[in-house]
């Protein structure tokens, strides 16, 4: 089932890169950005993580971010060490929640993302983010804004493999 405004995600049970299992209790009472990314070495995803980390303090103290990748915990932990992210990063090795919430795979949107994201791929490469795997290349990201009551305020299913909500929209949500 595709996520929609007004839905409530009751639980996600996945391992985090810190070795613990994630519980929605961690985000209870906080505004949250939940993002379904592609794979651990995705250059676009790593660039997005890097950019959010650099501005994370702008989102306020009562805000959480949860990033879900289609990767094994071990591979994701190794890859994400370079970021030292101040938020939760989860591994959905079996594509369980990607499937449950109909996160799309699209060769066409991958091709579009590769074209419109040309300068992003150059920027990602300059930071050392290179795709070291091919599985998950066609996954299209999804951003979900969840309010303090755990209700979805907005869902954004990307238009291509580089497409996310703007940081300014996330910031507005986090501080409003």
pLDDT in tens, 5-63: 999 987 899 999 999 999 888 888 999 999 999 999 999 999 999 999 999 999 999 99
How far apart are alpha carbons 88 and 33 in whole angstroms? 11
Closest CA to 2 of 105, 98, 139, 129: 98
Token digits of residue 72: 């094994």
Top CATH class, 24-175:
alpha beta
What is the predicted pLDDT for the residue at 36?
98
pTM comes to: 0.94
Distance, CA of 159 to CA of 138 (rounded, Å)? 12
What's the pLDDT band for 141 if we cut at 50, 70, 90?
very high
Give the pLDDT confidence of 55-114 residue by residue, as tens digits. 999 999 999 999 999 999 999 999 999 999 999 999 999 999 999 999 999 999 999 998
Output the furthest CA–CA distance in the chain (Å, rounded). 40
Per-residue pLDDT for 134 more than 80?
no
Can you give the residue ranges of every domain in the chain? 24-175
């Amino acid at each position: 089932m595709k996520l929609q405004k007004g839905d409530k995600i009751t639980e996600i049970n996945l391992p985090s890169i810190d070795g613990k299992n994630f519980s929605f209790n961690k985000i209870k009472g906080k505004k949250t950005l939940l993002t379904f990314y592609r794979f651990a070495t995705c250059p676009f995803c790593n660039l997005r993580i890097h950019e959010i980390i650099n501005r994370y303090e702008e989102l306020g103290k009562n805000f959480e971010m949860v990033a879900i990748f289609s990767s094994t915990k071990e591979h994701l932990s190794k890859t994400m060490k370079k970021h030292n992210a101040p938020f939760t990063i989860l591994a959905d090795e079996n594509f369980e929640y990607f499937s449950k919430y109909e996160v799309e795979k699209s060769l066409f949107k991958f091709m579009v993302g590769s074209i419109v994201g040309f300068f992003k791929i150059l920027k990602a490469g300059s930071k050392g983010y290179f795709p070291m795997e091919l599985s998950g290349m066609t996954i299209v990201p999804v951003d979900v804004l969840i309010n303090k009551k755990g209700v979805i305020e907005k869902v954004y299913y990307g238009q291509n493999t580089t497409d996310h909500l703007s940081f300014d929209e996330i910031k507005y949500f986090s501080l409003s």
